[in-house]
């Protein structure tokens, strides 16, 4: 029986009594998955895990996901490094609020990060509960968004002119980012997105990847999105996660947005990441 300690914020919990260095039995795995769905983001501290352990655990949660713009580490096709060297001067990776890879035809269900090297201070990750964000929207805005789809793209980050594009590469970022013209593609997803497992509705837009609203003029679309972007990160929706070495963190991209923070200048930071796909394609997107 695992112990669950809620964060006290809108989302987030810490799970105790789990050893991820060995396969979990069916009941324990079901408990972990249920906690993840209930709390959105779960931390499992004090783990002694290998890369293979990380791969095994995440595959038990869901199928392998895609990481289109970050090269995997050698020998592990579905594991990427979130890395920053002590002397690195490039902007902090993933500082914009986003849901991972929401521009894909079927965005990933979850993301897992295993902490390898954690600085003595800084580097917290912020999460914002988008169930709560949707629920708190005024009725008039909900009606205005009914049936609407957001236009998602990776271009702001991963195109040649993007934040992690040619200039960033020339500046010597240590992460293995693979920018390119594929980042210019767009996909649409419902703004009021029904979670395929919980049945709850979440607000599914973000400043990082949502460019517009299909069927709306540019000015109206940008005005609505600006209002949503401000609303979705209200303090009462946010959980601030503090890292520790050996911690496994897993979150649900279908109902949360998140962003990285800095504050650890002069220190190295290294985490290993696996993207987790849906059990079955959601079938809610269209290509452009």
- The full set of domains in the chain, from first to last, is 3-287 (3.60.130.10)
Predicted confidence at residue 1, as pLDDT, reads: 83
Q: Which of 133, 140, 119 is nearest to 193 (CA)?
A: 133
Per-residue CA distances from 257 to 14, 21, 146 (Å):
18, 28, 21
* Residue 139, CA distances (Å) to 135, 150, 225 in order: 9, 19, 16
CA–CA separation, 189 vs 8, rounded Å?
31
Residues in the chain: 288
Contact criterion met (CB below 8 Å) for 101 and 231:
no
Which contacts of 224-229 are long-range, i.e. CB under 8 A and separated by 24 or more positions?
A: 224/144, 224/145, 225/150, 227/141, 228/191, 228/203, 229/97, 229/205
CA–CA dist 210, 198 (Å, integer): 24
Report the alpha-carbon distance of residue 27 to residue 165 in Å, rounded: 45
H-only helix segments in 155-284: 155-158, 166-170, 218-231
Q: Are 83 and 230 in contact (CB under 8 A)?
A: no
Phi/psi of residue 155, nearest 5 degrees: -60, -35
Strands 13-16 and 41-44: parallel
Q: Is 54 helix (H, G, I), strand (E, B) or coil?
A: helix
How do the pLDDT tens digits run along the chain, 288 residues long?
899 999 999 999 999 999 999 999 999 999 999 999 999 999 999 999 999 999 999 999 999 999 999 999 999 999 999 999 999 999 999 999 999 999 999 999 999 999 999 999 999 999 999 999 999 999 999 999 999 999 999 999 999 999 999 999 999 999 999 999 999 999 999 999 999 999 999 999 999 999 999 999 999 999 999 999 999 999 999 999 999 999 999 999 999 999 999 999 999 999 999 999 997 544 344 444
Prediction pTM value = 0.96
pLDDT given at position 281: 42
Please provide the distance, in angstroms rounded to a whole number, between the alpha carbons at the two ends of the chain.
47
Q: Is the dihedral of CA 108, 110, 112, 118 positive or negative?
A: positive
pLDDT score of 287: 42
Q: So what's the pLDDT on residue 280?
A: 59
């Amino acid at each position: 029986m695992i112990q669950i300690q809620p964060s006290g914020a809108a989302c987030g919990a810490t799970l105790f009594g789990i050893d991820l260095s060995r396969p979990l039995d069916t009941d324990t795995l079901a408990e972990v998955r249920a906690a993840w769905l209930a709390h959105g983001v779960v931390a499992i501290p004090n783990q002694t895990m290998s890369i293979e352990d990380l791969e095994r655990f995440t595959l038990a949660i869901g199928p392998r996901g895609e990481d289109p713009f970050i090269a995997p580490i050698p020998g592990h096709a579905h594991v990427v490094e979130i890395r920053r060297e002590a002397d690195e001067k490039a902007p902090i990776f993933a500082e914009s609020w986003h849901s991972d890879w929401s521009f894909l035809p079927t965005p990933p269900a979850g993301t897992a990060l295993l902490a390898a090297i954690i600085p003595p201070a800084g580097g917290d990750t912020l999460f914002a509960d988008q169930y709560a964000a949707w629920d708190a929207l005024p009725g008039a805005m909900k009606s205005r968004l009914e049936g609407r789809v957001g236009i998602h793209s990776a271009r702001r980050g991963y195109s040649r002119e993007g934040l992690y594009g040619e200039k960033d590469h020339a500046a010597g970022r240590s992460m293995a980012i693979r920018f390119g013209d594929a980042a210019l593609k767009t996909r649409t997803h419902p703004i009021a997105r029904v979670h395929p497992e919980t049945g709850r509705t979440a607000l599914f837009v973000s400043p990082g990847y949502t460019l517009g609203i299909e069927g709306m003029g540019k000015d109206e679309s940008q005005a609505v999105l600006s209002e949503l972007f401000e609303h979705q990160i209200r303090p009462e929706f946010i959980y601030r996660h503090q890292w520790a070495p050996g911690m496994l963190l897993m979150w649900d991209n279908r109902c949360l947005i998140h962003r990285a923070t800095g504050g650890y200048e002069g220190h190295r930071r290294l985490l290993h990441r696996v993207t987790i796909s849906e059990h079955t394609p959601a079938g809610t997107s269209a290509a452009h």
